[in-house]
Amino acid sequence: MYDNVLPTQSLKPKQEIRACRGKMEGITTFKSDYRPYEIVKQPRHVPEEYKPKQEKIDLGTTYKQDFNSYKVQPVAIVRPLERQQVKKGKLDMVPTYKDDYRAWDLHKSELYKPEQTYQLPTVKFGNSTTFQDDFVPQEIKPRQSGQSFKPSSVVKRSTAPFNGITSHRLDYIPHQLELKFERPKEVYKPTEQRFEDLTTHRYDFQGLIGETAKICRPVHTRVTQNARFEGSTEFRECFQPWEIPPPEVKKVPEYVPPTGSMLLNSTSHLDYVPYQANRILPIRPVSHRRSNNFPFQGKSTMKEDFPAWENCRQGVIKKQQIPNPSGKFDGLSTFRSHYVPHKLIPTESCKPLNIAFKSSVPFDDVTMYSIEYTPKIQEICKASYPSPPGYIFENTNSQGHKFFRKITPAVKAF
């Protein structure tokens, strides 16, 4: 019924380059709208030449005019009076929270969790998996016993005697060592003078009797009242207890199943009209495979070069146990047996003796400083004097600097 249906045509445009044969105009919107203007250079402002004023600056301020100096005296220290420490005792008081709080009789709310009606099955689960259905167990062939390439862990012992000759023993020439110089041990000689245990602290300290330090703590004055404590607070006067009703519990309506049978028809079931249609055949290209009647040769270089061997399970490799010795242990090593002791000659010390060098020539203490030094009189700076000698006070500037004038001696006329 639907064999003569043609496929829909593709509306996708073809990828072809359409060359424009007309001449391109090099005019843009910027070239057509832009109008050139004449640029005029802005005149530069020439600053006027600075001419300093010849008048004097008035350095007076309103603070200097209105301020009147006063004699200031040190402020006396006002210390608080000493307070006595209050004795710590047990305080039996009832707080306002305990007095005003009332415990309510609350009932435990019931659980709304639905009951579990699921029951575990008693029959064993017997369904098989896809792995159990598709898996076919194969027989494993053991490897042959003589195909292990692992070397044995047995130690091979040599029957030939040990050759202990080395190049050092052949080429070594023993030489006689010289005797080591031994310095005689010095004997300790205690001094005959008496030990002075007087220190600078004992020498300079004089035990002067002084007065004990006075306590500068102020006197503690306790502020007490003889009036009786009323026990009323602002919270008690302002707070009024209100009766709180218990919370209302909302009742959940019981579930009532609907009566009658359920209609399982849907719009798809009611409106669907079945059509009789044939199955579409697959559009495949014609195969140009040649049919050969020769049998398939399943040989390869891998199968020819590596034939399958019969595998046997390898047994447990046990280490060879060394038998315990029966005789007595000699304890003689190769070093002890081949070692030849030699007499050592101590080396002589080349260190110089720790003795001070003394000379009979008198010490020459003449230096370039002592020859060329000329003593000079140390002058005192005249600025350290309140009124330096040889100068007369003139005035004081606004910054507090004092100016002095040197006294010139008067020349008498002849």
Q: Give the pLDDT confidence score for residue 372 in this predicted structure.
A: 87
Average pLDDT of the residues of the chain: 79
Q: What is the DSSP string of 32-83?
A: HH----PPPPPPPPPPPPP----SPP----HHHHH-------PPPP-PPPP-
Half-sphere exposure of 206 (CA within 13 A, CB side): 2
Sign of CA dihedral 36, 40, 41, 42: negative
| Helix (H/G/I), strand (E/B), else coil: 305 | helix
Other Cβ atoms closer than 10 A to 312? 14
How do residues 93-143 score in pLDDT, each as one tens digit? 777 888 777 777 777 777 777 777 777 878 877 778 888 888 877 777 766
Q: Give the pLDDT confidence score for residue 412 in this predicted structure.
A: 60
Calculate the CA 244 to chain-centre distance: 57
In this prediction, residues 11-24 reach a mean pLDDT of 75
Other Cβ atoms closer than 10 A to 337? 9
With left for phi above 0 and alpha for psi between -120 and 50, is residue 105 left, alpha or beta?
beta
In this prediction, residues 325-351 reach a mean pLDDT of 83
Check if the beta carbon of residue 196 is closer than 8 Å to that of residue 364.
Answer: no
Can you give the C-alpha Rg of the chain in angstroms? 63
Q: What distance in Å separates the CA atoms of residue 322 and residue 157, rounded to the nearest whole number?
A: 13
How do residues 148-195 score in pLDDT, each as one tens digit? 677 777 777 788 888 888 888 888 888 888 888 888 888 888 888 888
Phi/psi of residue 141, nearest 5 degrees? -90, 130
Calculate the CA 222 to chain-centre distance: 56
**Residue 85 banded pLDDT, cuts 50, 70, 90:** low
Asked whether the predicted pLDDT for residue 12 surpasses 80, the reply is yes
pTM of the model: 0.14
Q: Give the pLDDT confidence score for residue 292 in this predicted structure.
A: 66
Phi/psi of residue 62, nearest 5 degrees? -65, -30
Q: Give the pLDDT confidence score for residue 8 in this predicted structure.
A: 78
Q: What distance in Å separates the CA atoms of residue 165 and residue 328, rounded to the nearest whole number?
A: 28
Q: What distance in Å separates the CA atoms of residue 35 and residue 40, rounded to the nearest whole number?
A: 16
Check if the beta carbon of residue 153 is closer than 8 Å to that of residue 317.
Answer: yes
**Residue 145 banded pLDDT, cuts 50, 70, 90:** low
Ranking 211-225, 310-324, 331-345, 354-368 by mean pLDDT, the lowest is 211-225
In percent, the amount of the chain with pLDDT more than 70 equals 89
Other Cβ atoms closer than 10 A to 314? 13
Q: What distance in Å separates the CA atoms of residue 305 and residue 286, rounded to the nearest whole number?
A: 40
In percent, the amount of the chain with pLDDT more than 90 equals 0
Closest CA to 349 of 238, 183, 203: 183
Calculate the CA 349 to chain-centre distance: 57
How do residues 195-246 score in pLDDT, each as one tens digit? 888 888 888 877 777 777 788 877 776 666 666 767 778 888 888 888 888 8
Asked whether the predicted pLDDT for residue 413 surpasses 60, the reply is no
Burial class of residue 388 in the structure, from the number of CB atoms within 10 Å of its CB (0-12 exposed, 13-18 middle, 19+ buried): middle
Check if the beta carbon of residue 218 is closer than 8 Å to that of residue 83.
Answer: yes
